[in-house]
Amino acid sequence: MSDGALIRLRGVTKTYGQGAVAFQALKGIDLDIAAGEFVAVMGPSGSGKSTVMNLLGCLDTPTAGEYLFDGIAVQRLDRDARARLRRRHLGFVFQGFNLLARTSALENVELPLVYRGENRAARRAASMAALAEVGLTDWADHTPAELSGGQQQRVAIARAIVTRPTVLLADEPTGNLDTERSREIMQLLQRLNHEQGITVLMVTHEPEMAAFARRIVHFRDGRVERDERLQEEPV
């Protein structure tokens, strides 16, 4: 977009249910995110932060308002078009890792490329490169049960970046890790943001982890309560 906004939300609402049982999870969100930003999204349970991440990830659609992704009006796309945008531009990292238990780290990383229909040789090369970027080349043949929690999350991050996404969406990526492993994962996300220019959007409850971002957007009661830019990032 001409003003540098990769993601733009304008007047976005999201309502679940109808009539007396209707619940408005988002109440008119305005938000701009530029390419290359590292943004943490925080807020108490029920604040709307997970709902907005689902919308940004093309996993749901707004009830009203406008969502532009690189100038594309996402709310006007059908399900198949949203899926194509998701596969082409978005990578996902979850709190629970979501790895297939009986397959190797390499095979887990390959999955998005399988869905894209890439040939075996191309999949292997790209997946080994992604594992190298997260420091797990020597663990490519190990199953999740043979990996620590931090290593499993690194595999999940490699799977998310193997398609070279424009945006990485991370939902509580350190929620199941101890403090030391959490800092390692945050430093990895920070490096991917700095060195590859991947835009990172992360939901977290932990202020220490949010401090790795360049910007923190606070949600409360379905609205943006505060939007703060950080002067420095931890090393």
Q: Which residues contact 19 (CB under 8 A, 6 or more apart)?
A: none
* pLDDT tens digits for range 110-133: 999 998 889 999 999 999 999 999
pLDDT tens across the length of the chain (235 residues): 446 799 999 999 999 999 888 999 999 999 999 999 999 999 999 999 999 999 999 999 999 999 999 999 999 999 999 999 998 999 999 888 889 999 999 999 999 999 888 999 999 999 999 999 999 999 999 999 999 999 999 999 999 999 999 999 999 999 889 999 999 999 999 999 999 999 999 999 999 999 999 999 999 999 999 999 986 655 4
Give the 3-state secondary structure of residue 24: strand
Q: What is the pTM of this model?
A: 0.90
Stated as kind and residue range, the H or E segment containing 49 is helix 49-56
From 185, 192, 232, 195, select the one nearest 213 (Cα to Cα). 232
Q: Give a yes or no: residue 1 inside a domain.
A: no
How many Cα atoms are found within 13 Å in the side-chain-facing hemisphere of 183? 6
Question: In this predicted structure, what is the pLDDT of residue 104?
Answer: 97
Total domains, the chain: 1
Instruction: Characterise 117 by phi-psi region: left (phi > 0), alpha (psi -120 to 50), beta (else).
Output: left
Q: Give a yes or no: residue 85 inside a domain.
A: yes
Q: Give a yes or no: residue 116 inside a domain.
A: yes
Neighbours of 6 (CB within 10 A): 19
Question: In this predicted structure, what is the pLDDT of residue 2?
Answer: 42
Residue type at 197?
G
Q: Scanning the structure block, which residue is given the tokens 């420095």?
A: 232
Neighbours of 3 (CB within 10 A): 7
Domain span at 131: 36-61+79-229
From residue 50, alpha-carbon distances to 2, 30, 102, 106 in Å are 28, 16, 29, 29
Q: Give a yes or no: residue 31 inside a domain.
A: no
Q: What is the CATH number of the domain that holds 216?
A: 3.40.50.300
